[in-house]
Amino acid sequence: MESSQNDGRRRLPEPDTEHRLEHLLVSHADAPDELTLYPADVAEDEITTTWITAQEGAYVSLREWR
């Protein structure tokens, strides 16, 4: 059995390259910008129900987080 410990730290799983996300950034002059994420391979009839939107300030870039 392979241990998930490495010097007392948990090993992160490999990135999932099969499930990519696309994004759309909408800028508003009178409201916070909105970032919408959705699966790259979503079917046309499912796109309106397979997404998530966050307002500016509720998300950070991966580079900034690291």
SS3 37: strand
Residue 31 falls inside a structural domain:
yes
Query: What is the distance, to the nearest Å, from the Cα of residue 3 to the centroid of all Cα atoms in its chain?
Result: 28
Per-residue pLDDT of the chain (66 residues; tens, 9 = 90+): 444 445 667 776 676 667 788 888 999 999 999 999 999 888 888 888 988 999 988 878 788 888
Give the model's pLDDT for residue 26: 93
Q: Which domain does 42 fall in, by range?
A: 14-65
Residues 6+ apart with CB under 8 A from 54: 34, 35, 37
Residue 48 falls inside a structural domain:
yes
CB-CB contact of 39 with 22 (8 Å): yes
Residue 9 falls inside a structural domain:
no
Please choose, from the candidates 52, 56, 63, the residue with its C-alpha nearest in 3D space to the C-alpha of residue 22: 52
Number of domains present in the structure of the chain:
1
Give the model's pLDDT for residue 62: 80
Report yes or no on whether pTM surpasses 0.75. Answer: no
